[in-house]
Structure 1
């Protein structure tokens, strides 16, 4: 499948964050990488976690607050955020406007929460 039409609405919601699965195995469109859109509502605080695979975000709109391995940075529209595997990170939005990002993660990548729990993000499946 070469062209995958975007769903008309977000496919998952977690707190102030919405996820829209774009190219994922469950949509029959990919076997190696998953791609989704993330929207962070104003005031969304980061959920610290790490990943078992490298993850890349592209800021499409707004300004994201990024913490990677304890280092805080600001990612502006057009910035790429590269999160190495096994490194704690979090994304937030302390601005007044939504932040929109595009995210890519290899299929099978999992998030590891602070308590050690492994979670396969449903929006990436």
Structure 2
């Protein structure tokens, strides 16, 4: 058993977002990675996709989720399931910071608009 406290977890910043790494292989998880994602700036989200399904559980704030031509609102208490290989972005839409827990299977990669792939460092 591993207990990871968010107050001592490693924090990463990328594309106007902050990621607090919780579960990952480097922290003892073998199946899934989990982190807290925070959006504080009212900036458009970065469109990308992932090679595996990703789940977001919104803790606070409100965000607009864009998937292709579809737009949805994600707010506290809601869960978003993004299928693998689905282009999406998340943008904060309220004055309150947006916070969510994200869960992604170990080994998944992000694919940016230019086709470049990478494993999110908070998921390693």
TM-score relative to the length of structure 1:
0.92
Contact 1:70–1:88 (8 Å) recurs in 2: no
Q: Work out whether 1:70 is the aligned partner of 2:55.
A: no
Contact 1:52–1:111 (8 Å) recurs in 2: yes
Number of the residue aligned with 2:23: 23
- The 1:107/1:9 distance shift into structure 2, 3 A limit, reads closer
Q: Please give the per-residue CA displacement for 1:47-104, whole angstroms capped at 9, x wherever unaligned.
A: 0001100000000001011012331111111110110001100011132110000000
Contact 1:42–1:97 (8 Å) recurs in 2: no
Number of the residue aligned with 2:41: 42
What SS class does the counterpart of residue 72 from structure 2 fall into? Answer: strand
For residues 87 and 15 of structure 1, the distance between their equivalents in structure 2, rounded to whole angstroms, comes to 19
TM-score relative to the length of structure 2:
0.93
Q: Work out whether 1:119 is the aligned partner of 2:118.
A: yes
Contact 1:46–1:91 (8 Å) recurs in 2: yes
Contact 2:15–2:46 (8 Å) recurs in 1: no
Equivalent residues, number: 124
Unmatched runs of 5 consecutive residues or more in structure 1? none
Higher alpha-carbon deviation: 76-85 or 1-10: 1-10
Q: Note the 1:54-69 alignment, pairs <5 A.
A: 54-69=53-68
For residues 34 and 101 of structure 1, the distance between their equivalents in structure 2, rounded to whole angstroms, comes to 14
Unmatched runs of 5 consecutive residues or more in structure 2? none
